[in-house]
Amino acid sequence: MMWIKNCLWGLMVMVLVSGCASYSHYTPTLDPYGDERADRIDQDLYECRYLAREAYRYHSDETAHGILMGGALGAVVGGFFGAVTGHTGTGMVLGATAGAVGGGVQGEMNAEQRYVGAYRNCMRNRGHNVIN
């Protein structure tokens, strides 16, 4: 009966982690001094945000992939350690949950970095001085 409770707990954590995937609220800091296109900053920010979100959308499957791979690896490792202690099922569930959470967070961080990079590159390519 304990394994059912652990499975439900693991499922709830995986759903919560997969729901964390969202677009960044990052906006690059720009230095308009000497920027020949300073009058276009607002329009370029809008367009580059859109393009970065498009790039991010194609890479957001990294979160789902991280959850699946982390969960699978965690289940194997957790099952091994659970077998040693005599609780294979519990070890698998706990391992899968921990692996899914870790893999999902890592996948989301990778996708987030790609979003920020795409946003910065877009603004630089349009001739703006990007500070961060």
Per domain, the residue ranges of the chain are: 63-132
**Nearest in space to 83 (alpha carbons), one of 95, 72, 71, 73:** 95
What is the average per-residue pLDDT within 88-98?
83
Per cent of the chain over pLDDT 70 is 79
Residue pair 78/93 in contact (Cβ under 8 Å)? The answer is yes
Residues in the chain: 132
Per-residue pLDDT tens over the stretch 42-85? 999 999 999 998 877 765 577 777 888 888 888 888 887 788 88
